[in-house]
Amino acid sequence: MRARLTVFLVLAFLVPLHVSGNPGGVGNGLEDMQCGGACHGDANQNATSNLGLNIQPAESVWVGQPAEITVRISGIGIEHDMDTLGIFLLSTTNANGDIPTSHGWEILSDGMGDTNNYIEISMENAPTSFYSHTWVLRADEIGTKTLYVAVQHGDVSGSPYFGISQAFDVEVIPIPENLQRLDPEYSPTTSRDIGESTNLCVETVNASSVEIEWREQSGDSIQVATSLEGDCWKATLPASIDANTIEWRAILEGEGPTQTTPWFSLTSIEPRWEASEMALNLQSLAHIVLFFGIVLLLKMPRKDSSELKKYEASSEVLIQENTGPPLPADGLPAGWSMEQWNHYGDDFLEGQL
């Protein structure tokens, strides 16, 4: 009985849980540099990565406008053989609070359908020893800002590796007053469900016309029709039938030189499973009640089966002792009850009554 209850308890805790693991990595996210030392094991066991690390910002980084920040990594398959490469875009090397968003940057796109500073890339089918990846950032103030790129990965030796680049200075410059541009508050959509088209509403300043084009990654660009409603230029990007990533950009015309935005990544994904916070809290409470209920049940004293048998036997004896003699052929004496017969029947037969 106790064994069955124990199995039931284990299943009750395990079955309702929806857990998704990240084999070979920790998954994309907002991560400080300290993750590069601890996310995959003991930081003291890390070896130094020999990969070449470089950052190439856009030619002009205007304040309040999206700018491409391209990370370039070399030596893959030459310096190290790996299955997965983790890449950090950092603003300091303090190992705490060094995400770019902590130092005046807004991450508009990580090129993976989200706005993270840490991503993981599969190197299984990497065609060359060189890899580049682009983030789209927006600076909130004029001046010099510093960025770093860091990596973590494994190797055929089985050891964890971590490496970080030198500091790269990015000069954020003021934007000319009448230059056509995106609205400083505009943020592009980074992901959508498979099968859904995307209706863009690109808000601009001082733009007399806007063209919008999209492409599959590294493919030919395709222009889509646009229409103006107020300061919003509307366009529709076609739906995707499977999980993939497309890119789109806007070309702005106005009084100043033509302005072209970075390529914004838009990833189509399977619909995400969402859980109600209240439902999860109730489920946790039910687990607690179930656990304590079973503990109390297991601690209840159990009756000894031998004592139970003795009790049953004594009950039978009492029943037999309280049963009177066989009834006369003509039945109970007149006016007698069965209870009286059981107690005084013997005396009646002996002629004493």
Output the pLDDT for position 99: 94
The one-letter code for the residue type at 282 is: L
Asked if residue 138 and residue 193 are part of one domain, the reply reads no
Which range of 73-82, 120-129, 227-236 scores highest in mean pLDDT? It is 227-236
Q: Does 193 score more than 80 pLDDT?
A: yes
Token pair 């190797």 is found at 155
Q: Give the span between the Cα atoms of 131 and 154, in whole angstroms.
A: 16
- Per the structure, the complete domain to which residue 73 belongs is given by 24-175
Share of the chain above pLDDT 90, in %: 43
Asked if residue 114 and residue 38 are part of one domain, the reply reads yes
pLDDT band (50, 70, 90) for residue 118: very high
The reply to whether 228 falls in a domain is: yes
Cα-based angle 232, 237, 243 (whole degrees, multiple of 5):
135
Asked if residue 190 and residue 98 are part of one domain, the reply reads no
- We report the CATH number of the domain holding residue 36 as 2.60.40.680
The dihedral of CA 63, 65, 66, 72: what is its sign?
negative
Which residues in 238-276 belong to E strands, given as ranges?
245-254, 259-260, 264-269
Output the pLDDT for position 16: 45
Q: Give the span between the Cα atoms of 100 and 92, in whole angstroms.
A: 8
Q: Does 21 score more than 80 pLDDT?
A: no
Asked if residue 135 and residue 189 are part of one domain, the reply reads no
Output the pLDDT for position 311: 53
pLDDT in tens, 24-43: 567 889 988 887 655 555 55
Output the pLDDT for position 335: 80
The last residue of one of the domains, among 223, 240, 274, is 274
pLDDT in tens, 152-177: 888 877 778 899 999 999 999 999 88
DSSP secondary structure letter of residue 44:
G
Q: Nearest Cα to 233, choosing from 262, 257, 213, 204?
A: 204
Q: Which SS3 state, helix, strand or coil, does residue 135 take?
A: strand
Query: Do 115 and 101 meet the contact criterion of CB atoms below 8 Å apart?
Result: no
Asked if residue 210 and residue 169 are part of one domain, the reply reads no
pLDDT in tens, 274-328: 556 676 677 777 778 777 777 777 776 665 556 556 555 555 555 555 677 888 8
The reply to whether 259 falls in a domain is: yes
pLDDT band (50, 70, 90) for residue 237: very high
Which range of 180-184, 218-222, 279-283, 348-352 scores highest in mean pLDDT? It is 180-184
Other CB atoms within a 10 A radius of the CB of residue 249 amount to 17
The reply to whether 66 falls in a domain is: yes
Output the pLDDT for position 81: 81
The last residue of one of the domains, among 140, 175, 210, is 175
Q: pTM for this one?
A: 0.68
Average pLDDT, the chain: 82
- We report the CATH number of the domain holding residue 212 as 2.60.40.10
Q: Which SS3 state, helix, strand or coil, does residue 228 take?
A: strand
Q: Does 264 score more than 70 pLDDT?
A: yes
Q: How many domains does the chain have?
A: 2
The reply to whether 289 falls in a domain is: no
Q: Give the span between the Cα atoms of 118 and 30, in whole angstroms.
A: 6
Asked if residue 151 and residue 232 are part of one domain, the reply reads no
Q: Does 242 score more than 90 pLDDT?
A: no
Output the pLDDT for position 292: 74
Q: Does 334 score more than 60 pLDDT?
A: yes
The reply to whether 267 falls in a domain is: yes
Question: What burial letters (b/e) apply to 142-168, b meaning 16+ CB within 10 Å?
Answer: eeebebbbbbbbbbeeeebbbbbbeeb
Share of the chain above pLDDT 70, in %: 79
pLDDT band (50, 70, 90) for residue 20: very low
Asked if residue 171 and residue 28 are part of one domain, the reply reads yes
Determine which helix (DSSP H) or strand (DSSP E) holds 5, and give its type and residue range.
helix 2-14
The reply to whether 346 falls in a domain is: no
Asked if residue 165 and residue 28 are part of one domain, the reply reads yes
Output the pLDDT for position 275: 56
pLDDT in tens, 50-101: 999 999 999 999 999 999 999 999 998 888 888 888 999 999 988 778 999 9
Burial of 223 (0-12, 13-18, 19+ CB in 10 A): exposed
Other CB atoms within a 10 A radius of the CB of residue 228 amount to 14
The reply to whether 309 falls in a domain is: no
Asked if residue 56 and residue 145 are part of one domain, the reply reads yes
Q: Does 240 score more than 80 pLDDT?
A: yes
The last residue of one of the domains, among 116, 148, 175, is 175
Asked if residue 162 and residue 46 are part of one domain, the reply reads yes
Q: Does 9 score more than 90 pLDDT?
A: no
Asked if residue 243 and residue 114 are part of one domain, the reply reads no
The reply to whether 345 falls in a domain is: no
Stretch 1-7: mean pLDDT: 59
Q: Nearest Cα to 120, choosing from 57, 40, 47?
A: 40
Asked if residue 46 and residue 160 are part of one domain, the reply reads yes
